[in-house]
Structure 1
Amino acid sequence: MKKIIISTLAVSALLFTTSCETDFDTDVKDIQVTKGDADFSRYVSLGNSLTSGYRDGALYIDGQNESYPSMIALQMKLVGGGDFKQPLMADNNGGLILNTLVGPMQIANTKLYINSFIDGAPDLKFANNNTATTLTNTVLAGPFNNLGVPGAKVAHLLADGYGNVLNVAAKTANPYFVRFASEPTTSVIKDFKKQNPTFFSLWIGNNDALLYALAGADSSAETLTPPAQFTQYYNALINEIASTNAKGVIANIPSVTSIPALTTIPVNPLTASVLGGGNVTAGNATIDALNAQLYGPLNQILTALGAGDRIKPLSKTDANPLLIKDESLTPLGAQITAAATASGNPTLMALAAYLGATYGQARQAKAGDLVPLTTKAEIGKPETLPPGIPASLGARGVAYPFADKYILTGTEVTEISTAINAYNVAIQAAATAKGYAFVDANKKMTELSSQSGISFDGVRYTAKFVTGGAFSLDGVHLTGRGYAVIANEFIKSINGTYRSNLPQVDPNKYSGIKFP
C-alpha cells in the first residue's frame, strides 16, 4: 500500500493531529495532491550553507542531493514543479582548491568522518587526507535553482562581485559562489531574479550571528551584525525578491543554544581521569600539583580581594571547570601582582608579574557559558610561556586561561541571543508584510534540542551530537534526516499559506551519521 505524508494544515479535517513534537505517517493515498494558490513551475531557493546541503564540515554531492530545497522540489514536481538544478561538487570528499598566481591553494576542508571511537568519543578525520579536488575557478553552467552559498550573510546576497574569483583573497567574494555565478560582476539576488522564479524559499541570517558565536565572540575574527543593519539588509533583500512577484516561504534563525556545536562540550570536563590521560592516580597527582602551584595561592589572593569565586581549588572527586579569560570582569592584574609580591612566598614572588598579567581576568567556566565543539582539541595543549615560568602552567584551559576565541561567556551568549531575537522579529515582520509563508525554524530546533526531541514513524531525533540523528559531524549543519525534518516544516507552512497539500517527506528514508 502506498503511503505519503500530508501536512496537518492541508488536510486537518481528514487526519488526526499530534503534539508539536511528533509527526506522523498516515496512509492518504486517495487524497489528490494540488498546488493550491501557488505556482511551483520555477522554484528557486536562496540561503547559505543550510540551503546548499552542506554537512559534516563540507559541501559534497551526497549532501547536496539531500538538501532541504531539493526535497521540497521533488514534492513540487507532483503538481507541476520543474527540474531543480544544483551546482554539484566534483565528488563526495568536498573541499575547494583555488588557482592563484602563486599556484593552487586549498581554501576549504574536505568532509569529516568517524574514523573510530576512543573512550566512547568519535575520532574525527578529514576525507581524502583533507586533499580537495574541486576547483573554485571552474565556473559551472547554470542557471541553478539552489542558490545556497555557504558562509553567506544577508548582505552578501545583495553584493555585486560576490562571485568574482579575484575578490576571494580580499574576502569580498565567496569561493562557493565563484563556482556558479553567472558572471563575475553579478550578485546572488541578481542571479535569482534572472530566472524569473514563480516560487522561492529563503533561509538566511544564521551566519550574521553564528560565525561570531563559533569564534567565541572574538570580534577580531568575526563580527555580529547589528540588528538595525540586519533589518536594513533583510528588508532590501525582501524588496528585491518581491519585485519578481513570486510567492514563497521564509524561515527564521535558530538559537545558538540549540546546536550541538555549542552545547556538546560541558564547561567542566576536567576530571582526574582526563587530567591523567586515563590514569586517575596520575590525574590526582596533577591536581595536587596545580592546587599547590596555582589554584590554592590564586584563590587565597582573590578571596582577599573579594573575588574568591573566580578561581577555586581543583577537586579530585568532581569534574572541574575549564579556566578561561572573561573580558567582562574587572581587571585585577595589578592587585594580584602586588599581593604575590608581598606574600613572602619565594615561588609566588618570582611569579608575581606573570600571575598578574595572566590571571587578572581569569575565572573558571560556569553554567551559562558555552564551549564550542572545536575547543575540545585545544584543552591541555601547551601555551608558549615566558622564560622561567613552569611548563605545567601552560596547559590551555587547565592552568592557562583559554583566550576569548575558545569560549562563549554567559554575557556573550546573551549578546548573541538578543541579536538573534531581533533578527527573528525582522524576519517574521517581513513575512507578514509581504504575505509569504513563514517557518519558525527556531522553534523546531528548540524541539530537537529538548530531551524528548521529535519523532517520525517511531524514530526519535534529537540535537545530541553524533547519536541524535539530526545533526552532522560538524555540530552545526544537519544530516539528510535533519534536513528532511526542516523540509517538512517548509512544506507545512507552504500548504497552510497557499492552500496546497504537498506531501511531506519521510526523514527515515534519508541518510544520517555513518558509523565505522
Structure 2
Amino acid sequence: MKNYKYIGLFLLSLGVISCDVNNDLDPILEETGPVVQLNTNGLDFSSYVSVGASFTAGFTDNALFIQAQENSFPNILAGKFSTDFSQPLMNDNIGGLLLGGNVIQGPRLYFNGAGPTGLMATPTTEVTTSVAGNLNNFGVPGAKSFHFVAPGYGSLQALQLGRANPYFVRMASGANATVLGDAMAQSPTFFTLSEIGGNDVLGYATSGGSGVDQTGNIDPSTYGQSDITDPNVFASVFSSMVTTLTSGGAKGVVANVPYITNLAHFTTVPFNPVPLDAATATQLNSQLLGPVIQILTALGQPDRISLLEASSSNKLLLRDENLTDFSAQISGALQQAGVSAAQAQLMGSLYGQARHATSADLFVLPLSSLIGTSKANIPAPFNTIGVTYPLDDNLALTPQEQLAIKTATDAYNTTIAAVASANPNVALVDFKGLLEQSANGIAFDRYTLTTNLVTGGLISLDGIHLTGRGYALMANKIMEAMDAEFGTNFTIATNGLAKADDHPTNYSPALR
C-alpha cells in the first residue's frame, strides 16, 4: 500500500508560520487628554482575595509559571486597585511540578514555528515545599466546584493517594484546610470568584466525553475525574461560597461559565483533514470499506460510512457509542463472504459502531498529532488512526456529548446569575458572552483578539487557557462590571484599564 501523505495539521489549518505578529508592531503613541481621577466609590480593596481555578491562577500554555502568574487577571486587578497582592509563585518560568523529585506536571508549551511543543527543560517547583506567608490569590488549577469546600484537598498524604490537588498542597495552611477557608482567613474586603463550574465540565470535554454525566447524583465523592458535576451540587456549593465571601461585608465580582467547546482545544482539528491519493483511496474502498458499506446498507444504515476519495478533505472515521452495534452482523456477513474468521471478527469490532465524522462533531487538540499514525497491535491496513482505525472515544465529542456539556453549563450559569442578582454586594461579569464574541473577533485597544489557536491572541497554546493579553482583557471586563454595579469609573479613569501592549500573547522558549 502506498504511504499516506499527511500535512502538519497546524500549518494546514492555521496557514501561518508566525506566532504573534502583533508583538512586533511599533507602539502607537496615544493622544493625551485631561486626566480623569479614579473614583472607587467607597470600595475597600485593602484585602483583595481571588478565588477560582486555572484562569485565576494565571495558567497559560498548559502550565503555571512566574511570568504567567504576574499576568494573571487578579494580579492585573490588584495593580489597578493599588493594593498589595501576594501569589503562590512558582520557582521558575519553565512551569510544571515535582513531587519528591519526580515530574508530575510537565513544562509549558511554546510555539516552534509549526505548532505548540513542550519546552525542553525540567521543572524546579517542588510540591512538598510550601509557599510561606499570607496569600491573596487562591487560584487552584484543576479544581471543581466542590473541591473549594473539601477538607484535605491540600493534603500531601491525600495527593499521594490521588485525592488532592498539587497546586493547593503548595499553598494550603494545613492538611485539612479548604480553599475557601484559607481565603476567608485573609478577611477579604473585596473578592473575585471566577471559573467555578468550568472544571466541572472541562474534564468530561477533554476526555472526549468518556466520563459520566452525574446529573441526578448529589454525592461528589463518587465522581470520577472526567465526570460532569450535578447542577444541584454546583448550586449548593456556589451559593454557600458567595454567602461566605460576603459574610463580613465584602463586595466582589463573580463570573459565569463559557461554553468550553468554543475554545480552540475543541475547534482547531477539522472533521475532514485526511488527504489521500487516488491509488490509496481506491485500494481501501475495494478491500475494506466497500464490503462494510454493503453490509451496513443491507442493515438499513447506508450513511454511516462513506467511500474515500482522492482528496485532501476526507472525513475522520470515529467510533460512536450512541450507534447500534452491528459488530456481530458485520463479522457474520464477512465470514459468509469467505473472509477469515480472525479478520472478520476484527472488522466487526472496528466498524460495528463506526461512522464518518460530520461538521457537528468536535475533536480534542491532541488528535492533531495522531491522525494517520498507526495504532499499536492492530495489523495493516486496519491500523491507520482516523482513516481505517476509528478514533477512540476520548478523542471526539459527539453532538450528544456536547449537549450534555451545554446543559450542565446552562444550569450552572442559571445559578450564578440568580445568586448575583439576589446579592447587592455582588457584580456579575459575562465571561460566557466575552468568549462567544471573541469567536468572531473582539477589539482590545489596537488589536482584534479571537479564539483561534496560536494566531488569535486570546487563547494560549494549550487551546483552553488565556494568554497574558487575554487575562488583561478579562480584568478589564471585570472592571466594567464593577463600574456598572458599584459606581466606580475604571472604564473612563486615566489608566483605569489594562493596556493590551503591556501584556504578551506568547513567551520565548529562552525564558526560564
- Report the TM-score, using the length of structure 2 for normalisation: 0.87
Equivalent of 2:171 in 173, 176, 180: 180
Q: Quick check: 1:215 aligned with 2:207?
A: yes
Corresponding letter in the other structure for 2:226: E
**Equivalent in the alignment of 1:361:** 353
Corresponding letter in the other structure for 2:297: T
Q: Quick check: 1:301 aligned with 2:295?
A: yes
Report if aligned partners of 1:337, 1:352 keep a CA contact under 8 Å in 2. yes
d(CA) in 1 for partners of 2:31, 2:139: 32
d(CA) in 2 for partners of 1:199, 1:153: 22
Alpha-carbon shift at residue 348 of structure 1 (Å): 6.7
Q: Quick check: 1:439 aligned with 2:429?
A: yes
Equivalent of 1:57 in 62, 83, 88: 62
1:68-105 CA deviation, whole Å, 9 max, x = no partner?
Answer: 0111111111xxxx201111100100100011xxxx32
**Equivalent in the alignment of 1:111:** 108
**Equivalent in the alignment of 1:448:** 438
Greater shift after overlay, 329-338 or 463-472? 329-338
Alpha-carbon shift at residue 332 of structure 1 (Å): 1.2
1:210-246 CA deviation, whole Å, 9 max, x = no partner?
Answer: 1210110111761111212211221222222232321
Alpha-carbon shift at residue 187 of structure 1 (Å): 0.8
**Equivalent in the alignment of 1:512:** 505
Corresponding letter in the other structure for 1:291: N
1:129-150 CA deviation, whole Å, 9 max, x = no partner?
Answer: 3x21110000011211111001
Equivalent of 1:473 in 453, 461, 465: 461
Residues 495 and 27 (structure 1 numbering): CA distance in 2 closer, same or farther, change over 3 Å? farther
The alignment's C-alpha RMSD in Å is: 1.7
**Equivalent in the alignment of 2:80:** 75
1:358-387 CA deviation, whole Å, 9 max, x = no partner?
Answer: 21111111121111111112222322346x
Corresponding letter in the other structure for 1:442: K
Report if aligned partners of 2:204, 2:210 keep a CA contact under 8 Å in 1. yes
Q: Quick check: 1:417 aligned with 2:418?
A: no
Corresponding letter in the other structure for 1:174: N
**Equivalent in the alignment of 2:371:** 379
Alpha-carbon shift at residue 288 of structure 1 (Å): 2.2
**Equivalent in the alignment of 1:488:** 476
**Equivalent in the alignment of 1:244:** 248
Q: Percent identity?
A: 41
1:446-477 CA deviation, whole Å, 9 max, x = no partner?
Answer: 01112xx0112321111111001111110101
d(CA) in 2 for partners of 1:196, 1:284: 69
Report if aligned partners of 1:200, 1:247 keep a CA contact under 8 Å in 2. yes
Alpha-carbon shift at residue 185 of structure 1 (Å): 1.7
d(CA) in 1 for partners of 2:73, 2:133: 20
Report if aligned partners of 2:273, 2:312 keep a CA contact under 8 Å in 1. no
Q: Quick check: 1:194 aligned with 2:185?
A: yes
Aligned residue runs from structure 1 range 450-465, under 5 A: 450=440, 453-465=441-453
Corresponding letter in the other structure for 1:378: L
**Runs (5+) with no aligned partner, structure 2:** 1-29, 212-223, 491-495
d(CA) in 2 for partners of 1:300, 1:513: 51
d(CA) in 1 for partners of 2:371, 2:145: 34
d(CA) in 1 for partners of 2:31, 2:461: 31
d(CA) in 1 for partners of 2:60, 2:430: 21
SS at match of 1:446: helix
Alpha-carbon shift at residue 197 of structure 1 (Å): 0.5
Equivalent of 1:149 in 140, 159, 165: 140
Q: Quick check: 1:499 aligned with 2:487?
A: yes
**Runs (5+) with no aligned partner, structure 1:** 1-24, 273-282
d(CA) in 1 for partners of 2:88, 2:377: 48
Equivalent of 2:47 in 37, 42, 47: 42
d(CA) in 2 for partners of 1:293, 1:472: 43
Report if aligned partners of 1:72, 1:487 keep a CA contact under 8 Å in 2. yes
Report if aligned partners of 2:205, 2:261 keep a CA contact under 8 Å in 1. no
Corresponding letter in the other structure for 1:168: L
d(CA) in 2 for partners of 1:59, 1:139: 16
Corresponding letter in the other structure for 1:417: K
Report if aligned partners of 1:269, 1:320 keep a CA contact under 8 Å in 2. yes
Count of aligned pairs = 461
Equivalent of 1:289 in 256, 276, 283: 283
Corresponding letter in the other structure for 2:328: A
SS at match of 1:179: helix
Residues 362 and 26 (structure 1 numbering): CA distance in 2 closer, same or farther, change over 3 Å? farther
Alpha-carbon shift at residue 514 of structure 1 (Å): 4.6
d(CA) in 2 for partners of 1:444, 1:148: 20
d(CA) in 2 for partners of 1:397, 1:177: 38
Alpha-carbon shift at residue 481 of structure 1 (Å): 0.6
1:229-267 CA deviation, whole Å, 9 max, x = no partner?
Answer: 211221222222232321000001110232101101101
SS at match of 2:304: coil
1:175-208 CA deviation, whole Å, 9 max, x = no partner?
Answer: 0011111222211111111110100000021100
Report if aligned partners of 2:53, 2:142 keep a CA contact under 8 Å in 1. yes
Alpha-carbon shift at residue 350 of structure 1 (Å): 5.6
d(CA) in 1 for partners of 2:227, 2:327: 28
d(CA) in 2 for partners of 1:154, 1:29: 45
d(CA) in 2 for partners of 1:68, 1:230: 24
Alpha-carbon shift at residue 32 of structure 1 (Å): 1.6
Residues 366 and 233 (structure 1 numbering): CA distance in 2 closer, same or farther, change over 3 Å? same
1:361-415 CA deviation, whole Å, 9 max, x = no partner?
Answer: 11111121111111112222322346xxx42211121111111111111110111
Moved over 6 A (4+): none
1:474-514 CA deviation, whole Å, 9 max, x = no partner?
Answer: 01011111111111110000111111112111123210125
